Amino acid sequence: MFMRVDRLITELPPPKKQDPNAAAALQELLGGKYGEMSTLGNYMFQSFNFRSKDKLRPFYSLVASITAEELAHVELVSNGVAMLNNGPDKPGGDEMAGGDITKSPFEAMQDIRLASAFLSNGGGATPVNANGASWNNDFVTTTGNVIFDLLHNFHLECGARLHKLRVYETLSADDATGREVCGYLLVRGSVHAHSYALAIKKLTGVEIEKMLPTPNIPLANIPECQKYLNEGSHRRLYTWSPNDYQEISGIWSNDEVALPGDPPGPLEVVEGMPDGGKIHQLQGVPSAFTPDYAPEEFYEIASKLYKASR
């Protein structure tokens, strides 16, 4: 089962401006071939279909626990997309009237790469890539062969690293929101690639972790990765459960250390999940009818429901 917590896996800085083309670039990290929907879909169904769970408990626990983190990554990227599409909050923005839509408030969308994000989704995220092509089941590999699946997962995490680096390179230096998403995911994706490499080594003896990092760009070269490296996130694997999946310590153990080029130290299994950060509110957009043309009515209804629930 899954438990949901009303926080993001890490806090994102608010955008300085509305930047729908940057949001479209982030969509590649959500619905692209190596995006978070792919890592989630692969690990989730591999964990559902895993054979001989008791016999192979550390490997099952690894895939199952990372599944939960990938769901949090889907949420993180989706919030980043929505924040960039909508831009910074405006004082009293949720209290404004619908405005005069005859003045073409979204005329600029004619020149936006992913106009459907506004025309269909009101500036929100959906499981599509940067060009609007839908994510699909063809990106999921679940063979039942534990070595094959782990090797596929290692390839997937290396591909995701390439994805994130390229998206990072498209974002302007003042895009704190988008670059924070990339920086955090680069650190955590490195952890997952490392963990799958160690799992393969435990099963086969092949030291595939010596291929890392792939692509060969140290995380220390990326400013947005620094605080996560300094706090040791590159050495932590979370169980995402108060009681289960602790067997991952058989793979992610104190006998192993951080990858060369990263701050040194032993690997660490942490029970539970990261503390995380707050979720951005996302103001209503009256001219796009989100939540609708008279938001004050919704606030009145929500207030009554909240009082009734106390």
Other C-beta atoms closer than 10 Å to the C-beta of 98 total 14
Tens digits of pLDDT across the chain (310 residues): 999 999 999 999 999 999 999 999 999 999 999 999 999 999 999 999 999 999 999 999 999 999 999 999 999 999 999 999 999 988 776 666 666 677 787 887 888 889 888 889 989 999 999 999 999 999 999 999 999 999 999 999 999 999 999 999 999 999 999 999 999 999 999 999 999 999 999 999 999 999 999 999 999 999 999 999 999 999 999 999 999 999 999 999 878 999 999 999 999 999 999 999 999 989 888 777 787 756 667 778 888 898 999 8
Q: Which two tokens stand for residue 31?
A: 């619905």
Q: Is the dihedral angle over the CA atoms 184, 186, 192, 194 positive or is it negative?
A: negative
Do the beta carbons of residue 37 and residue 135 sit within 8 Å? yes
Nearest to 156 by CA among 278, 36, 242: 36
User: Would you say residue 298 lies in a domain?
Assistant: no
Do the beta carbons of residue 117 and residue 24 sit within 8 Å? yes
User: Would you say residue 15 lies in a domain?
Assistant: no
Could you tell me the CATH number of the domain that includes residue 171?
1.20.1260.10
Q: Note the pLDDT tens digit of each residue in 139-156.
A: 999 999 999 999 999 999
Distance CA 232, CA 229 (A): 5
* pTM greater than 0.85: yes
Q: Note the pLDDT tens digit of each residue in 162-208.
A: 999 999 999 999 999 999 999 999 999 999 999 999 999 999 999 99
Which amino acid is it at 286?
P
Distance CA 69, CA 3 (A): 12
Number of domains forming the structure of the chain:
1
> Under 8 Å CB-to-CB from 69, ≥6 apart: which residues?
9, 188, 192, 238, 240, 273
User: Would you say residue 242 lies in a domain?
Assistant: yes
User: Would you say residue 226 lies in a domain?
Assistant: yes
Distance CA 7, CA 28 (A): 23
User: Would you say residue 236 lies in a domain?
Assistant: yes
pLDDT of residue 111: 84
User: Would you say residue 305 lies in a domain?
Assistant: no
User: Would you say residue 222 lies in a domain?
Assistant: yes
Distance CA 87, CA 17 (A): 5
Other C-beta atoms closer than 10 Å to the C-beta of 15 total 23
Q: Which domain holds residue 258?
A: 20-89+103-279
User: Would you say residue 48 lies in a domain?
Assistant: yes
pLDDT of residue 293: 58
Q: Note the pLDDT tens digit of each residue in 17-36.
A: 999 999 999 999 999 999 99
